[in-house]
Amino acid sequence: MEARNLQTAQAILVRNRLLRQLSPADLRSVLTLLEPVPLRQRQILHHWNTGMRWVYFIEKGLVSVEAKTDRSETFETWTVGSEGMTGIPVVLGGDHVPPHRRVVHVDGSALQMSAQ
């Protein structure tokens, strides 16, 4: 019964809905790789066309994923909140050099994991 209570407690402590979908065993494994970090408005998490060093599981706040239409114009293509993560190119494999920029739009917090 104690193990079940620990699993429930870990799931409750994780506010990211994507992580909460993991099995208790997988969640325990992943939690050892995550570090809580604050998110501040206008903080750039990933720059344009640069390698991704980190992925972020958003717990609170909102991150905008921006695309360029030319050298001077950008637009928001989608947002990520507590339902997801930044760094999908890392999950999909390849060179981890996405053309989009990820910028914190609303202050909050995330769980950071190395892209490695």
Residue 30 and residue 39: Cα distance in Å, rounded? 20
pLDDT (0 to 100) of residue 107: 97
Give residue-wise pLDDT tens across range 11-39.
Answer: 557 899 999 999 999 999 999 999 999 99
Angle between helices 24-31 and 2-13 (to 10 degrees): 60
**Domains in the chain, start-ordered, CATH in brackets?**
35-114 (2.60.120.10)
